[in-house]
Structure 1
Amino acid sequence: MYPIIVLSVTGLLTLFLGLENPKSKWIAPGTLFFLLVALASNALDWNAPGHYFNAMIEVNNSIILIESLIILTTFFIVILSTGQFEDENAHPAEYYALMQFSVVGALIMASFSNLLMLFLGLEILSIALYVLTGSDKTNLRGNEASLKYFLMGSFATGILLFGIAMLYGSTGSFDIHAGSNLIQAHPTAKVLFFVGIVFTVIGLLFKISGAPFHFWTADVYQGAPTIFTAFMATVVKTAVVFSLYRLLATGFGFEFNLWSKVLFVVIALSLIIGNLTAVMQDNFKRLLAFSSISQAGFLLMGLVGINERTFVNLGYYSASYVLATIAGLGVLMIVSRQTIKDGRPNENVEVFNGLFKNKPGLAIVLFIAMLSLSGIPLTSGFWAKFFVFTDALRTGHLWVLVLAIMMSAVSLYYYFKPVVAAFKSGEEREIEVKPLHAGLLYVTAALIVILGVAPQIFRALFI
């Protein structure tokens, strides 16, 4: 609960720092400090479970760990962003403030116990992202992406609100824990309740890029500045996954047979559409966008096989995906800024040509990140998929596991596109890498390997 308060205040402080000097070199370090303060404040709730704001937010050790993952992810992304906003039209104070406000929304989504707080958290998260997506006013593609994201996000919010209204109308409460008793007392309201669950889940599936609610993803990922694409692909996905977990497993687990059918359809479509479409992409950010759709399908497999280890399995998968995505997009940010094509940074896969020859360290980081995303052993991505596969197998739906394995094989083709480019011959060029950025990328690559060799290091935190 404390990080929500801390980041709400520090977000405002960041704006005031920008008023005095919009280009101040202290804004990024200040944001990093604020995130560390928020992370430290999170520890105040450790071993002190409870409810806040009239029981609308719940705090326990597991939720604290997920909130810490969200804050650390943002911390890594802010490190990568240093030096990215040097253009005369950039407004770094506003960007960093909006990122902090967006994290507040993500933290609320990870800990809500009331459907109103779910809506509030989602809107705080989303509105900041609409602005950040179109923050580069000189990029017409970014402006288009921002408008698309806003329009489709607003439409999805309407669907979510309709679902929440149906749930309230059928149960008489916004509390996610009250549904089972009220439904049993009022069986005639069950149809409204079913409609409410389905529409609420659809509203959240939009944010996680689950097919067929994924049409915005590729254009927005490609159009947004890469640093905000990384933020969107990691923080948002983590927040929505655990909001779905709280909504479905904690609140509506008694209606598993209903909502699991919806998720099975979304899983199948996400795996098929995400992987087969990614094969045809030459733009690295679009490739990762369709990969994100596929990863959403894998994450949802954990939800349909709910058991006592589902929460930790989803946490491990989220951490693995965060590390690999930051590593991959981090390498792209460094290389693309120094390779201009048609007046814009070149973000096609070809930009990695000869990377191993010119910067072997970056090539190895990219290699490890792609290995993890594809689920190759000795990386965290292998265990992440193994754990959710095991959960899904508990449902007895063997076809889901077969489909997931087949699509994982397909993913090897497109994940190795940038790897092949990096290790083949290319022209010699000087690639400047800041020590801070290089250090962060090496840390993410090392963590991917460490968690791949010893996954119990992370999983033991949840015991």
Structure 2
Amino acid sequence: MTAIIALSLFGISNLFLGFWFPRKTIQNITLLFLVLSMALTVSDWNHELLWFGNMFRTTNTSINFSLIIQLAAFFVVAFSKAFGEDDEHSHPAEYYAIMLFSVVGAILMVSFDHMIVLFVGLEILSVAMYVLTGSDKRNLRSNEAAIKYFLMGSFTTGILLFGITLVYGATRSFYISNIGTILTSTAPESMPTFLFIGVLLIIVGLLFKVSAAPFHFWTPDVYEGAPTIFTMFMSTIVKTASFAALFHLVSGIFGSLYTIWVLPVYFISMLTLVVGNISAVYQQSVKRMLAFSSISHAGYLLLTVSSKQLSTTSSILYYSLSYTLATVAAFAVLILVSEYQSARVEKPENFSSFQGLAKNNPGLALCFSISLLSLAGIPLTAGFWGKFFIFSDTFSRNIIYPVILAILMSAVGIYYYFKGIIAVYFKSGEIEKIEVPTLYKVALWACTIGTIILGIYPNLVKSVF
């Protein structure tokens, strides 16, 4: 709770600090703010508390999700390079402030104990992302992406609110604990039909945010059109917060209605796996490939969300952390390469722009390759154990066919992830030495080393979760 108050104050402070400090200093101050907020979050460990009229609850699980979200925000800020040197059109203090406010919304989504808090957190996060997606005002792709994201997001918000309304109509409460008690103590056959519709509509609203098929159509265009640094933010923080909220609902108050929602969710997870992986195979743009990759990873996470095993919580947390580290590293290298190639080739974000990267930039090539290997689920990386834990949870419920499909789609994923590795190491190209700022380099190697450590010692972190 104290982290939410602190981040809100930090965001407001950033707006004023922008008048007095240069952009590089603002970046360092924002990083300091995030470190302080993480320290405040850790201080609530093992203290389950209710806040704001029992509408907000802190638990160890919500603290873990909050830490992953804030860690992702830390890396995004570190990779922002102070948002370039364009003093006229880029305003880093405002960007950093909006990012801090969006982290507040994400933390509300992982700690809510009241349906209205879920809605408020989702809207704080969403509105911030609408603004950041269209922040490159001179880029038509950015403008188009912002409009698409806003229209689709607004429509889905209506679906979510309608679902919350139906659940309230059936239970007469917005409080998670009250709803859970009513649903557990009431026989399913005596519940009104519109309650089940409301549950499904709430799940659909959150599935949009995690880019699950068939609610994924906005993702490739929005990811491609948004400035890459905000695409990094969107693909990690938004996805983690939305999955945490979805898991909190289906494992808690909607757990007694498992038979109602489990089959639709399993069907959507399998559809998401197929659409995400097959579509990624045909992409020539690394950015669009990572967009469809994000869709496919939503499918993997949906499998374990539906499993309802004792280890499901730790599996989701581990997968979220491993996915976050690999994704921010991949996007970080993409930012550097696309900036270098922007004046040299027509499409700087394509795989062809990475050809020959290893010759003069072996460090960047290694970090990029390890991140792709982790996303592909190759052993000795964090991504391998993330998928292993998810498959184990699902298989433990004797659910065979979704696991078989997920394994087959993982094999498909190896193909398109290795396209990037082949371009980096086995294709000829002329990429000179790319100058990387010290902070950027440290953050990039931290993600890479973290991916390897989690791959070699998975229980090091999973035991904490």
Query: TM-score, normalising length from structure 2?
Result: 0.96
Contact 2:274/2:296 (8 A) holds in 1? yes
Give the equivalent residue in structure 2 for 1:442.
445
Distance change (3 Å), C-alpha of 1:382 and 1:25: closer
Q: How far 1:64 sits from its partner (Å)?
A: 1.2
Q: How big is each residue's C-alpha offset from its partner over 1:324-383, in whole Å with a ceiling of 9 and x where there is no partner?
A: 001100001111111115898711111111000020011011110011000011100000
Q: 1:112 maps to what in 2?
A: 112
1:236 corresponds in structure 2 to 238
Going from structure 1 to structure 2, the CA distance change for 1:22 and 1:204 (only over 3 Å counts) comes to: farther
Q: How far does the alpha carbon of each residue in 1:249-292 deviate from its partner, in whole angstroms, 9 at most, with x for none?
A: 02211111111112111101100000000000011110000011
Shift of the alpha carbon at 1:6?
0.5
Identify the residue that residue 37 of structure 1 maps to in structure 2.
36
The superposition leaves residues 402-454 of structure 1 with CA deviations (integer Å, 9 ceiling, x where unpaired) of: 10011001111111111110012212423121122122111111111110011
Partner of 1:298: 300
Asked if structure 1 preserves the Cα contact closer than 8 Å seen for 2:23 and 2:82, the reply is no
How much is the aligned-residue C-alpha RMSD, in angstroms?
1.5
Q: Matches of 1:261 and 1:437 in 2, distance apart?
A: 44
Secondary structure of 1:45's match?
coil
Following superposition of structure 1 onto structure 2, how do residues 5-84 of structure 1 map, counting pairs within 5 Å? 5-18=5-18, 20-21=19-20, 24-84=23-83
Distance in 2 (alpha carbons) for counterparts of 1:152 and 1:56: 28
Match of 1:381 among 373, 380, 383: 383
Q: 1:421 aligns with which of 415, 420, 423?
A: 423
Deviates more, 1:380-389 or 1:59-68: 59-68
Q: What letter is aligned with 1:297? A: G
Q: Give the aligned residue type for 1:16.
A: F
Uncovered stretches (5+) of structure 2, i.e. residues with no partner: none
> Gaps (5+ residues) in structure 1?
none
Deviation (angstroms), 1:82: 2.1
Distance 2:252 2:199 in 1: 13
Check whether the contact 2:82–2:92 (CA below 8 A) recurs between aligned residues.
no
After alignment, is 335-344 or 352-361 more displaced? 335-344
Question: Are 1:452 and 2:452 an aligned pair?
Answer: no
1:33 partner amino acid: L
Distance 1:82 1:339 in 2: 17
1:136 aligned partner: 136
Counterpart for residue 327 of structure 1: 329
Cα distance in 1 for residues equivalent to 2:22 and 2:221: 30
Q: Which amino acid aligns with 1:303?
A: V
How do residues 54-453 of structure 1 correspond to structure 2 at under 5 angstroms?
A: 54-87=53-86, 88-183=88-183, 184-185=185-186, 188-340=190-342, 346-423=348-425, 424-453=427-456
How many residues are treated as equivalent by the alignment? 461
Q: Match for 1:313: what amino acid?
A: S
What TM-score do you get using the length of structure 1 for normalisation?
A: 0.97
Alpha-carbon contact 1:101-1:124 (below 8 Å) kept: yes
Q: Please tell me the residue identity of whatever aligns with 1:196.
A: G
Alignment deviations for residues 71-98 of structure 1 (CA, whole Å, 9 cap, x no partner) = 1110111001124332230011111000
Partners of 2:255 and 2:283 lie apart in 1 by 38
Amino acid at match of 1:48: H
Which residue in 1 is equivalent to 2:464?
461
1:33 deviates by 1.1
Find the residue that maps to 1:333 and give its secondary structure.
Answer: helix
Q: What amino acid sits opposite 1:167 in the alignment?
A: V
Identity of aligned residues (%): 48
- Whether the 8 Å contact between 1:381 and 1:452 is mirrored in structure 2 is yes
Given that 2:319 and 2:383 are in contact with CA atoms closer than 8 Å, whether structure 1 keeps it comes out as yes
The 3-state SS of whatever aligns with 1:178 is helix
| Residue type at the aligned position of 1:175 | Y
Q: The residue matched to 1:120 in structure 2 has which SS? A: helix
Q: Secondary structure at the match of 2:57?
A: strand
Whether the 8 Å contact between 1:331 and 1:366 is mirrored in structure 2 is yes
Structure 1 runs (4+) greater than 3 angstroms displaced: 21-25, 183-189, 341-345
Q: Secondary structure at the match of 1:338?
A: helix
Report the secondary structure of 1:295's partner residue: helix
- Taking the aligned partners of 2:107 and 2:181, their CA distance within structure 1 comes to 28
Partners of 2:83 and 2:92 within 8 A in 1: no
Q: Distance in 2 between matches of 1:329 and 1:102?
A: 20
For 1:440, the aligned partner's letter is A
Q: Deviations over 1:205-243 (max 9, x none)?
A: 000000000000000100011110000000111101110
Cα shift readout 1:153-187 (whole Å, capped 9, x = no counterpart)? 00000000000000000011112222344344586
CA contact (8 A) 2:27 2:82 kept: no
Mean alpha-carbon deviation: is it higher for 179-188 or for 141-150?
Answer: 179-188
Give the letter aligned to residue 3 of structure 1: A
Structure 2 CA distance for partners of 1:65 and 1:181, relative to 1, 3 Å = closer
Tell me the amino acid that sits aligned with residue 219 of structure 1: D
Q: Is the 8 A contact 1:234 1:322 kept in 2?
A: yes
Contact 1:27–1:93 (Cα < 8 Å) also in 2: yes
Per-residue deviation at 1:461?
A: 1.2
- Judge conservation of contact 2:31–2:77 (CA < 8 Å) in 1: yes
